[in-house]
């Protein structure tokens, strides 16, 4: 809800209030953003102008002798009038560079779709605060959108040229927000290919911190999502602010603490290489930044942002729609496949219970490796003599959906497309363009290129045999042309392309991918309901990444695959059970040569899929809570809804002195009675090495032929755990789950977890 009290504006969500005020100097300031306040108490919350400190510039003595722009909690900052913190706007024209916007009026009006950008749905109204610099002929509109139930505020700005001369935008951020006091830590992420979403924490000192991406996409280096948390906040307690940007291009976050302990936070398009000339009567709109606040620690942020993404961002026809279990051939075959190989994989995938078969890279042009054919989206007949229709029909007959991989924004120099249209790839026209993964990027600022991409994909989708598209994007920008806002214009071009395709094919499920998680952001999720988290499918690495990503994004957007036992990226070996226990928190899939799997593995996959189908809604859309972190020796994640809770537990390193362990559950109905059990797992005989001889009548040689043969069919049942308890007892964290293996003996309750081993515990409400 939004209310206007003369020069004060109150924006309320379920738990929070954002209180804005126009001060005596006619500048918009933030008096409070945090827990809800009573509308009768607005005066008590007003930040006093105070006496300006030391060498401050007094902004306008005729309005107030106290106000210095360097000391107010400004909602927008412009330089050269006493505000020396990072400016939200940096403008210049022949007239000069001092732009001084003052309040004109504020209005509440129905929220309308933003032009050119994805707009989260379901906001009822927005507050628009108009400010103007009459002398420079410029207007700045600050927009505030309320997503009440999700406790999220959206912010964006519109800059208008109302004068008679051009001016240039060198920097324009979507949001500026000032926090009144110190004692906060930035909790963001860093990463790269195969290691996205690594935790990145910095205690905020008196510096300016700038992070983001200048790669042309939101990137895997620093996702636009980050938090600012009270330094002593925990998983469940303490003040935390969450920030994200609904944008897929180069972006920047700026966090700066001044000498007085005030923290200014900005989010927006990266100013690096951005320059936009605004002609008279033109305007520029920024993408939307989103902010949330909780006093319930990190899990509070998950709660708000998960609801926001599922309820407001994901395309409406996919909201809360169960996502299919995929089989993807990539790590199973890479590009070395033919129709026969695919068919036999599809057959096994259907047998274990997969619901979708995705044909990955290598089906088009003459693509046998990474060096050719991107752009030639016609069939590679040698591999698929019966066409896409042939393999799709086979897959459909097996009862699965059919999915196809594309990388539509890319072009290989060795392609007919490049030979026909040498000017379609991004290049500066001066230097030889640099390649990345042997490829270039198409120039999506050109309408004819966008039309080509839409048609290239649509011609396949129009056959009606493709139910799913994996949309990949495998390199970063280089060789930018002259145009001042090229990177930004590219992203608007991309939104045009994916907007047109998803509109024409509303029932096709698109999966977002950029060499893994190189562009998993709220912009892409506005069109594509799920994203491939990382090319690293190692269970331990994924558990860390999924956890960090889950602070900002719900498991329903995270696509995770169970892959080969010896992981291709880390060469780390973990059991299929463990891989499943991690991959199941989100959208499950399988990606390996299934036909190499042993009978015992096939049985395991069938059990996993049966389990996943029975619990899918909870695993994809349940309430996510992080219960413990690796620093404590284990990571525990809970997904719960009204009928059940599923708890994924991952061990850190095997400890020679394991203690008793309980599960710190939360969120179960205290009045209800639950039955509980651990999802059955099987240990390979090989786990025990030569120790197995302690229980076998004949001698078994470690790694010998006998143990190899036996292990293909049978294993040892892992510990059992089942019982019944009330929700209140379980919520108190009293449930004992048994000690881990300590090297001295073994009984039915001994948990053999190994390094990076996992389990899923199941709690079901008794009817």
Q: Which of 535, 538, 601, 628 is flagged as catalytic?
A: 535
Q: Is there a catalytic annotation at residue 100?
A: no
Within 10 angstroms of residue 178's Cβ, the number of other Cβ atoms is 21
DSSP secondary structure string for all residues of 436-487: BTTBEEB-TTSHHHHHHHHHHHHHHHTTS---EEEE-------S--S-TTHH
Shortest separation between residue 468's beta carbon and ligand GLA, angstroms: 13
DSSP-assigned letter for residue 379: B
Shortest separation between residue 528's beta carbon and ligand GLA, angstroms: 14
474/615 with CB nearer ligand GLA: 474
On the 0-12 / 13-18 / 19+ scale of CB atoms within 10 A, 507 is exposed
Rounded to whole angstroms, the Cα distance separating 313 from 309 reads 5
Where are the extended beta strands (E) located within 270-428?
A: 276-278, 283-285, 289-294, 326-328, 356-359, 401-406, 410-411
84/380 with CB nearer ligand GLA: 380
47/354 with CB nearer ligand GLA: 354
Q: Tell me the chain's radius of gyration from C-alpha atoms.
A: 28
Q: CA 474, 476, 195, 185: dihedral to nearest 10 degrees? A: -140
Shortest separation between residue 147's beta carbon and ligand GLA, angstroms: 31
Shortest separation between residue 535's beta carbon and ligand GLA, angstroms: 5
User: What is the separation of C-alpha 697 from the centre of its chain, rounded to a whole number of angstroms?
Assistant: 53
With helix as H, strand as E and coil as C, how does 392-431 read? HHHHHHCCCEEEEEECCCEECCECHHHHHCCCCECCCCCC
Three-class SS state of 430: coil
83/472 with CB nearer ligand GLA: 472
- Cβ proximity of 488 and 507 under 8 Å: no
- Cβ proximity of 115 and 143 under 8 Å: no
Rounded to whole angstroms, the Cα distance separating 412 from 442 reads 10
Shortest separation between residue 71's beta carbon and ligand GLA, angstroms: 48
212/516 with CB nearer ligand GLA: 516
Task: Please tell me the number of Cα atoms within 13 Å of 213 on its side-chain side.
Answer: 29
The pair of structure tokens assigned to 592 is: 């390996």
Shortest separation between residue 472's beta carbon and ligand GLA, angstroms: 5
Rounded to whole angstroms, the Cα distance separating 296 from 309 reads 19
User: What is the separation of C-alpha 433 from the centre of its chain, rounded to a whole number of angstroms?
Assistant: 31
204/582 with CB nearer ligand GLA: 582
297/403 with CB nearer ligand GLA: 403
179/410 with CB nearer ligand GLA: 410
Nearest to 441 by CA among 411, 417, 418, 420: 411
Within 10 angstroms of residue 488's Cβ, the number of other Cβ atoms is 24
DSSP-assigned letter for residue 74: B
Q: Is there a catalytic annotation at residue 535?
A: yes
176/328 with CB nearer ligand GLA: 328
248/684 with CB nearer ligand GLA: 248
Shortest separation between residue 358's beta carbon and ligand GLA, angstroms: 9
Give the DSSP H/E element, type plus range, for residue 557.
none
Shortest separation between residue 606's beta carbon and ligand GLA, angstroms: 25
206/336 with CB nearer ligand GLA: 336
Q: CA 311, 316, 317, 322: dihedral to nearest 10 degrees? A: -20
- Cβ proximity of 204 and 219 under 8 Å: no
426/513 with CB nearer ligand GLA: 513
Three-class SS state of 415: coil
Shortest separation between residue 516's beta carbon and ligand GLA, angstroms: 5
With helix as H, strand as E and coil as C, how does 162-217 read? CCCCCEEEEEEEEEEEEECCCCEEEEEEEEECCEEEEEEEEECCCCEEEEEECCCC
DSSP-assigned letter for residue 573: B
CA geometry: angle 582, 586, 587, nearest 5 deg: 110
Q: Strand 468-471 vs strand 509-512: parallel, antiparallel, or unpaired?
A: parallel
DSSP-assigned letter for residue 244: E
Q: Which of 31, 90, 133, 472 is flagged as catalytic?
A: 472
Rounded to whole angstroms, the Cα distance separating 704 from 699 reads 10
Shortest separation between residue 84's beta carbon and ligand GLA, angstroms: 44
What CA–CA distances, in Å, run from 537 to 356, 357, 359, 566, 576? 19, 18, 18, 10, 12
Residues in contact with ligand GLA by the rule CB under 6 A? 330, 360-361, 405, 472, 474, 513, 515-516, 532, 535
Q: In the complex, which residue's CB is closest to ligand GLA?
A: 361
Shortest separation between residue 518's beta carbon and ligand GLA, angstroms: 8
316/369 with CB nearer ligand GLA: 369
Shortest separation between residue 203's beta carbon and ligand GLA, angstroms: 34
What CA–CA distances, in Å, run from 44 to 27, 69, 295? 19, 22, 21
Q: Is 233 left (phi over 0), alpha (psi -120 to 50) or beta?
A: beta
Nearest to 129 by CA among 21, 41, 201: 21
Rounded to whole angstroms, the Cα distance separating 672 from 669 reads 5
Shortest separation between residue 710's beta carbon and ligand GLA, angstroms: 35
List active site positions: 472, 535
């Amino acid at each position: 809800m939004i209310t206007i009290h003369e020069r004060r504006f109150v924006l309320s969500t379920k738990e929070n209030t954002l209180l804005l005020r126009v001060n005596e100097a006619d500048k918009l300031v933030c008096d409070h953003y945090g827990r809800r306040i009573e509308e009768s108490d607005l005066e008590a919350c007003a930040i006093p102008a105070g006496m300006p400190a030391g060498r401050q510039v007094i902004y306008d003595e005729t309005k107030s002798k106290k106000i210095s722009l360097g000391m107010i909690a400004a909602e927008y900052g412009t330089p050269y009038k006493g505000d020396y913190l990072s400016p939200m706007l940096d403008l210049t024209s022949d007239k000069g560079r001092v732009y001084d916007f003052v309040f004109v009026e504020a209005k509440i009006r129905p929220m309308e779709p933003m032009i050119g950008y994805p707009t989260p749905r379901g906001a009822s109204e927005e507050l628009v605060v108009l400010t103007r610099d009459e002398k420079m002929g410029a207007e700045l509109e600050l927009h505030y959108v309320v997503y009440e139930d999700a406790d999220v505020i959206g912010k964006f700005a519109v800059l208008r040229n109302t004068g008679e001369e051009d001016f240039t935008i060198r920097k324009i951020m979507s949001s500026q927000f000032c926090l009144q006091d110190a004692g906060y830590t930035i909790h963001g992420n860093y990463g790269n290919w195969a290691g996205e979403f690594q935790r990145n924490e910095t205690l905020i000192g008196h510096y300016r911190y700038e992070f983001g991406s200048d790669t042309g996409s939101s990137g895997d280096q620093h996702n636009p999502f980050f938090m600012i948390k009270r330094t002593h906040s925990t998983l469940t307690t303490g003040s935390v602010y969450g920030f994200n940007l609904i944008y897929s291009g180069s972006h920047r976050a700026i966090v700066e603490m001044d000498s007085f302990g005030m923290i200014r936070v900005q989010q927006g398009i990266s100013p690096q290489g951005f320059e936009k000339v605004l002609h008279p009567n033109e305007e520029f709109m920024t993408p939307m930044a989103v902010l949330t606040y909780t006093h319930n620690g990190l899990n509070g942020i998950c709660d708000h942002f998960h609801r926001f993404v599922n309820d407001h961002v994901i395309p409406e026809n996919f909201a809360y729609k169960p996502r299919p279990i995929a089989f993807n051939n990539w790590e199973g075959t890479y590009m070395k496949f033919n129709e026969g190989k695919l068919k036999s994989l599809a057959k096994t995938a259907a047998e274990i219970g997969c619901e979708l078969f995705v044909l990955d890279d290598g089906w088009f042009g003459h693509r046998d490796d990474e060096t050719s054919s991107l752009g030639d989206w016609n069939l590679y007949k040698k591999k698929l003599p019966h066409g896409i229709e042939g393999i799709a029909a086979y897959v459909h007959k097996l009862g699965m959906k059919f999915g196809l991989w594309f990388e539509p924004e890319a072009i290989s120099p060795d392609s007919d497309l490049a030979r026909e249209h040498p000017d379609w790839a991004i290049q500066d026209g001066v230097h030889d363009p640099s390649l990345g993964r042997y490829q270039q990027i198409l120039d999506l600022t050109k309408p004819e290129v966008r039309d080509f991409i839409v048609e290239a994909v649509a011609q396949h989708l129009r056959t009606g045999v493709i139910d799913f598209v994996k949309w990949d994007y495998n390199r970063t920008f280089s060789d930018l042309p002259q145009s001042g806002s090229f990177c930004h214009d590219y992203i608007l071009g991309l939104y045009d392309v994916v907007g047109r395709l998803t509109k024409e094919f509303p029932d096709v499920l698109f999966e977002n991918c950029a060499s893994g998680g190189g562009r998993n952001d709220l912009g892409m999720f506005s069109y594509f309901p799920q994203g491939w988290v990382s090319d690293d499918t190692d269970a331990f690495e994924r558990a860390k990444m999924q956890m960090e990503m889950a602070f900002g994004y719900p498991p329903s957007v995270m696509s995770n695959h169970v892959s080969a036992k010896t992981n291709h990226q880390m060469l780390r070996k973990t059991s299929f059970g463990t891989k499943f226990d991690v991959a199941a928190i989100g959208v499950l899939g399988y990606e390996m040569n299934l036909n190499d799997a042993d009978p015992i593995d096939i049985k395991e996959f069938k059990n996993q899929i049966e389990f996943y189908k029975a619990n899918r809604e909870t695993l994809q859309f349940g309430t996510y809570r992080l219960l413990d972190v690796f620093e404590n020796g284990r990571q525990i994640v809970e997904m719960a809804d009204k009928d059940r809770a599923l708890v994924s537990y991952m061990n850190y390193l095997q400890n020679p002195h394991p203690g008793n362990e309980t599960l710190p559950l939360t969120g179960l109905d205290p009045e209800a009675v639950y039955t509980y059990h651990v999802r059955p797992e099987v240990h390979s005989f090989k786990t025990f090495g030569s120790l197995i001889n302690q229980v076998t009548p004949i001698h078994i040689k470690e790694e010998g032929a006998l143990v190899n043969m036996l292990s293909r069919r049978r294993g040892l049942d892992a510990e059992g755990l089942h019982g019944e308890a009330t929700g209140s007892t379980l919520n108190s964290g009293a449930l004992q789950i048994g000690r881990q293996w300590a090297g001295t003996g073994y009984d039915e309750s001994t948990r053999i977890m190994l390094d990076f081993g996992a389990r899923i515990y199941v709690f079901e409400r008794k009817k």
